[in-house]
Amino acid sequence: MASRARRAARGRSTGVRSADDSTRVATFTLSGYRSSPTRGTVTVQAFDRRQRIRRSCTALGRWWGVALACVFIPVAHFVLVPSFLAYGLWQFAQRIRTAELARNARGICPDCGTEQQFELAARWPAPQTVTCSRCQRGLRLSVV
């Protein structure tokens, strides 16, 4: 009971947190050509070491499984099997380094005023550059 109250107090001070405490909603600013930046929100999921290892091994197993299935495809297996083995290793390396993953970034473009959902990089390095889907301008997304 005491830990729940402590977690709730921490959630109030650092933003909205979910029940499992690994997902939070962060606020960001969008800067464009105009001088007044706008704000938006993004859902950031954090992974601890164990979750990163599990995600990495899942990806590795999935792509190596696909490579194993491709062994039975004549001729194409000369290209498919090494490609999927290498892709599995690449996925493993990407996921083991991903400590935070950002999803559902919504905000208003400071240049044209369109509210939209932005495409983000797979990992969550901020600041990063996003593109407005309406005016096609590059916007700088930075965490508040």
Range in contact with Zn ion (rule: CB under 5 A) among 18-26, 71-79, 91-99, 135-143:
135-143
- Determine if 141 is a binding residue for Zn ion (CB under 5 A): no
Range in contact with Zn ion (rule: CB under 5 A) among 18-26, 83-91, 98-106, 129-137:
129-137
In one-letter notation, the amino acid at residue 83 is: S
Report the residue from 111, 118, 128, 130 that binds Zn ion according to the rule CB under 5 A. Answer: 111
| Segments of the chain assigned E as strands | 16-17, 23-31, 38-46, 100-108, 115-118, 128-131, 138-143
Q: How many residues bind Zn ion (CB under 5 A)?
A: 6
Shortest Å, Cβ 26 to Zn ion: 21
Shortest Å, Cβ 72 to Zn ion: 49
Contact letters for Zn ion, residues 4-33 (x by CB under 5 A): ------------------------------
Cβ-proximal residues to 31 (8 Å cutoff; 6+ apart), any chain: 37, 110, 139, 140, 142
- Determine if 128 is a binding residue for Zn ion (CB under 5 A): no
What is the Cα–Cα distance from 126 to 143, expressed in whole angstroms? 6
Shortest Å, Cβ 34 to Zn ion: 10
Are the C-beta atoms of 101 and 44 separated by less than 8 Å? yes
- Count of Cβ atoms closer than 10 Å to residue 109 Cβ: 23
Binding site for Zn ion (CB under 5 A): 109, 111-112, 132, 134-135
